[in-house]
C-alpha cells in the first residue's frame, strides 16, 4: 500500500501524531508551489492555510479518485486562486482553447539547445525566466519537472484535458526557448 | 532532455524556513483546541437545557398519565381475576391512555442529555498533542 494512504488510514483510525509526518513531508513541495504564485511575504501564510484545509478535509480524501499528492495540489491550487482573487490578481486564467487541438506527438529534441540548458543552470536566472511565463505554462513546468507529476496528474490538478496540458508543456518550453534565445550567445 | 531539465528545475526550488512545518502544526493544534472548546460549550449548554427541561416534562408526563386514566386501567390488570376474558379491550385501553406527546418529549430530553454527556466526555478527555513525536 502507498505510504501516504497508510499514514492517512492511521490518522483516520485516531493516531493524530502521523499528521506531523504528512506535514513535514509535503511542506517543502507546497511551499515551493505557493511561492511561485504568491509573494514571498505571504507564502508562509498561504502554505499554512493550505495545510489547515488539508487537515480539515483529510477524512474526505478518496484514494480511488486520485493520489494524495494530486489531491493536496488541487487544494493548493484552489487556495492560491482564492488568495490572488482577493488581491485581484488573475492566476491560472484560461488560455485559448486552440490547445485542445494539439497534436500529441511532440519531438523532445526540438525543445532546448545545450547552450540554453547551460544558461538555465543558474537557478536565479531560471526563476526570473519562469516569472515571465504565463501562469498556466509555469504551473505545468513546475508540476512536471519539480514535482515529477505525470501529464495525467497535472491534468487532474489543473482540471484541464490531457492534450491541453501537453500543449501547455510544449508551448512553455518553446516560450522559454524564445525568451532565452537573446541571452544565449 | 527531460532529465536535464529535471535536474535544472530541482536546483531552482524555493526552500521554506525550518520552522514552517512547526508553525503549521501549531496553527492546526490551535484550531483543533478551539473547535474542541466550541463543541464542549455547545454540548454543555444543550446538556444543561435538556436536564433542566426534563423536570417540567416529567411532571407533565405524570399528570397526563393521571388524567388519561392509565393508572386505573393498569390497576384493573392486577386486581381483576377475569381479565383473560377481555384482555384485548384492556390492552387497547391501556395503549390509548398512554400520553404519547409528553412521553416522547420526556424520552427525547433524556436521550439528548445522554448524547450531550457522551460528547462532553469525548471532548474533555486528554487530547494528544499534534506536536508530540
Q: How confident is the model at residue B49 (pLDDT cuts 50, 70, 90)?
A: very high
ipTM > 0.90, yes or no: no
Helix (H, G, I), strand (E, B) or coil at B82: coil
The verdict on pTM exceeding 0.80 is no
Alpha-carbon distance of A141 to A32, in angstroms, equals 13
Cell numbers standing for residue A5: 494512504
User: Are the beta carbons of A91 and A135 closer than 8 angstroms?
Assistant: yes
- Three cell numbers written together for A185: 550567445
Contacts of A27 in chain B (CB under 8 A): 16, 20-21, 24
Spatial separation of the C-alpha atoms in residues A19 and A8, rounded to whole Å? 8
Q: Is the four-CA dihedral A100, A101, A105, A106 of positive or negative sign? A: negative
CA atoms within 13 A on the CB side of B126: 1
Distance (Å, rounded) from C-alpha B23 to C-alpha B42?
Answer: 29
Q: Which residues of chain A have pLDDT under 50?
A: 94-110, 185
The nearest alpha carbon in chain A to B128 belongs to: A16
* Helix, strand, coil percentages in chain A from 3-state DSSP, rounded to 5: 75, 0, 25
Cα dihedral across residues A164, A169, A171, A172: positive or negative: positive
The three grid cell numbers given for residue A23, joined into one nine-digit string: 506535514
Q: In the 8-state DSSP scheme, what is residue B99? A: -
Contact A89, A157 (CB under 8 A): no
Question: What pLDDT shows up at residue B130?
Answer: 59
As a whole number of angstroms, the distance between CA A24 and CA B123 comes to 27
Say if residue B20's pLDDT is above 90.
yes
Which chain B residues touch A151 with a CB distance below 8 Å? none
A 8-67: CB under 8 A from B: 16-17, 19-20, 23-24, 27-28, 31-32, 35-36, 43-44, 47-48, 51-52, 55
B126: contact with A, CB 8 A cutoff: no
CB atoms within 10 A of CB B68: 17
pLDDT at B133: 44
B56-107 per-position pLDDT tens digit: 999 999 999 999 888 888 888 888 777 778 888 888 988 999 999 999 999 9
Chain A contacts in chain B segment 35-74 (CB below 8 A)? none
Amino acid at each position: 500500500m502507498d505510504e501516504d494512504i497508510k499514514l492517512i488510514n492511521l490518522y483516520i483510525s485516531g493516531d493524530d501524531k502521523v499528521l506531523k509526518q504528512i506535514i513535514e513531508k509535503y511542506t517543502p513541495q507546497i511551499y515551493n508551489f505557493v511561492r511561485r504564485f504568491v509573494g514571498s511575504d505571504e507564502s508562509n501564510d498561504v502554505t499554512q492555510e493550505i495545510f489547515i484545509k488539508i487537515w480539515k478535509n483529510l477524512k474526505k480524501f478518496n484514494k480511488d479518485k486520485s493520489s494524495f499528492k494530486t489531491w493536496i495540489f488541487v487544494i493548493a491550487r484552489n487556495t492560491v486562486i482564492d488568495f490572488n482573487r482577493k488581491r485581484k490578481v488573475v492566476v491560472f486564467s484560461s488560455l485559448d482553447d486552440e490547445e485542445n487541438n494539439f497534436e500529441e506527438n511532440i519531438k523532445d529534441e526540438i525543445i532546448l539547445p545545450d547552450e540554453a540548458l547551460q544558461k538555465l543552470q543558474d537557478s536565479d536566472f531560471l526563476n526570473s525566466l519562469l516569472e515571465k511565463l504565463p501562469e498556466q505554462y509555469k504551473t505545468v513546468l513546475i508540476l512536471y519537472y519539480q514535482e515529477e507529476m505525470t501529464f495525467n496528474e497535472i491534468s487532474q490538478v489543473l482540471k484541464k484535458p490531457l492534450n491541453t496540458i501537453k500543449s501547455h508543456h510544449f508551448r512553455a518550453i518553446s516560450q522559454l526557448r524564445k525568451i532565452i534565445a537573446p541571452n544565449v550567445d | 532532455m527531460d532529465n536535464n531539465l529535471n535536474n535544472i528545475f530541482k536546483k531552482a526550488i524555493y526552500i521554506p524556513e525550518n520552522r514552517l512545518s512547526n508553525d503549521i502544526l501549531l496553527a492546526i493544534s490551535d484550531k483543533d483546541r478551539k473547535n474542541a472548546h466550541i463543541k464542549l460549550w455547545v454540548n454543555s449548554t444543550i446538556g444543561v437545557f435538556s436536564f433542566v427541561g426534563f423536570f417540567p416534562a416529567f411532571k407533565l408526563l405524570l399528570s397526563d398519565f393521571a388524567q388519561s386514566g392509565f393508572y386505573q386501567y393498569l390497576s384493573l390488570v392486577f386486581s381483576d381475576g377475569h381479565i383473560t376474558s377481555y384482555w384485548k379491550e384492556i390492552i387497547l385501553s391501556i395503549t390509548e391512555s398512554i400520553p404519547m406527546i409528553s412521553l416522547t418529549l420526556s424520552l427525547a430530553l433524556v436521550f439528548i442529555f445522554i448524547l450531550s454527556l457522551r460528547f462532553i466526555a469525548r471532548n474533555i478527555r486528554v487530547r494528544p498533542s499534534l506536536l508530540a513525536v
